Copies of this chain bind each other. A is one copy, B any other.
Amino acid sequence: MFSKTRREDPKDETALNAKLLIRAGFVSKEMAGVYSFLPLGLKTLNKLNNLIRQELENLPAQEIEMTGLQNPDIWKKTDRWDNLSVWFKTELSDNGVVGFGWTHEEAITMMMKNHIHSYRDLPRAVYQIQTKYRNEERAKNGLLRGREFLMKDLYSFHATEDDLNKFYESVASAYEAIFSKLNLDTLVYRTRASGGAFSQFSDEFQLLSEAGEDIIHIHQAGQYVFNNEIFKPEVLSSFNLDKQDFRSSKAIEIGNIFKLGTRFSSPLELLYLDEKGQKQEVVMGSYGLGPSRLLGAIAEVLSDNRGLVWPESISPFQLHLLAFDDKGKKSEVLTKAKKFYHQLTDQGIEVLFDDRSLGAGEKMQDADLIGLPWRLVISEKTLSLGGGELKNRQTKEAEILPFNEITNRFKA
């Protein structure tokens, strides 16, 4: 692992998530709202992406990858080219202006014109996990608001509104399964948001956090949660609810699901032939989830004053093995630790091995900062007690265990 940890916070960051992820060697800052992923960060991100993929493949949905560069012509047809400040635009050397995609409804609608012709081609669901660009003015919240960020965007195509409604709920369930595997389920609220022309409401998935830029309003009975935009007298009265029965909280929007209806299929003419041979407009939905923002959100809400605390489901390694060899002098400890490291990895267990010539204090500080779920210390003392000390990063509970027991615990 070439990346080094840092003791000091980076001077140009105010956001906790960026401070922790930079200090622990997960990301590197290129400019405000633009972060590169170092090996630890990329491993974590890839695990998160694969966890998301698993749930989406079950829907089922098929993975594709669209492009950053966007043709303005199709965005003009939906009236989203000229009026929006979110675009990064640039000039082709030979032929006019193009944009960099911040979402892909237009592109996917055009693409599907080649692949949906008949009711027999419906329903369809496709997704991508792809880098998006957004010309944000306030990019001061680390990975929570990126000018360049990774997005999982899923699009669905249906013959009927009923079919869309069913699929929409299955995506909501998939999201809830994802948040549960990330240990975030008790902190995430499915929140009503404005729905556009086709549907009264859309849904956001909001994670309670003081670092959030959104405010959500939670009814005391728990059933109704509204985002700030629609927390208005007319909406409340339509549900027969009283403003006083709500508590408000800052939150991070980590996902959203949206019934698009024919908002895009109509202007871009994505049509299908129904069973009677009549042309109909395809009914669509779109579903967003931001993996890079999710990493930042997890760093915000699951960390403690010592550093990051990763959920086991996406931790870059299962186990952090520290050999306390007193700066190389106690070579027996290092030899035994190395041997056990190879035993563990031979079993397919993912181990980050700290074999650096550093003192025990520095190694423990780094292990807490990096935040793998389990830390295993091998020292003269633990060897004399017959094994290694296994400590849980979250609960801080520790016990000495024989090596074979440790291996058995982590084997798949």
Contacts and interface: CB of A to CB of B under 8 A. Distances in A.
Contact of A93 (B100, B116, B137): B137
Contacts of A69: 30-31, 34, 133, 147-148
> How many monomers of this protein are in the complex?
2
B64 A36 contact: yes
Given A28-B111, A69-B148, A71-B30, A64 B39 contact: yes
Nearest to A357: B120
A266 to B, nearest CB: 21
A94 B85 CA distance: 11
A391 interface: no
Category for how many chain A residues contact B:
35 or more
A36 B85 contact: no
Contact of A3 (B34, B36, B115, B147): B115
Contact of A36 (B67, B100, B124, B133): B67
A166 interface: no
Contacts of A100: 68, 90, 100
Chain A binding surface, main DSSP class: mixed
A133 B131 CA distance: 13
Interface string A108-135: 0001101110000100101000010101
B37 A65 contact: yes
A92 B135 contact: yes
B62 A30 contact: no
Interface in A121-165: 121, 124, 126, 131, 133, 135-137, 147-148
A148 B63 contact: no
Nearest to A4: B115
Interface in A42-79: 42, 45, 62-71
Given A34-B67, A89-B90, 6 more contacts: A2-B112, A2-B121, A31-B69, A34-B69, A37-B66, A39-B62
Interface of A: 1-4, 6, 28, 30-31, 34-39, 42, 45, 62-71, 85, 88-94, 98, 100, 107, 111-112, 114-116, 121, 124, 126, 131, 133, 135-137, 147-148
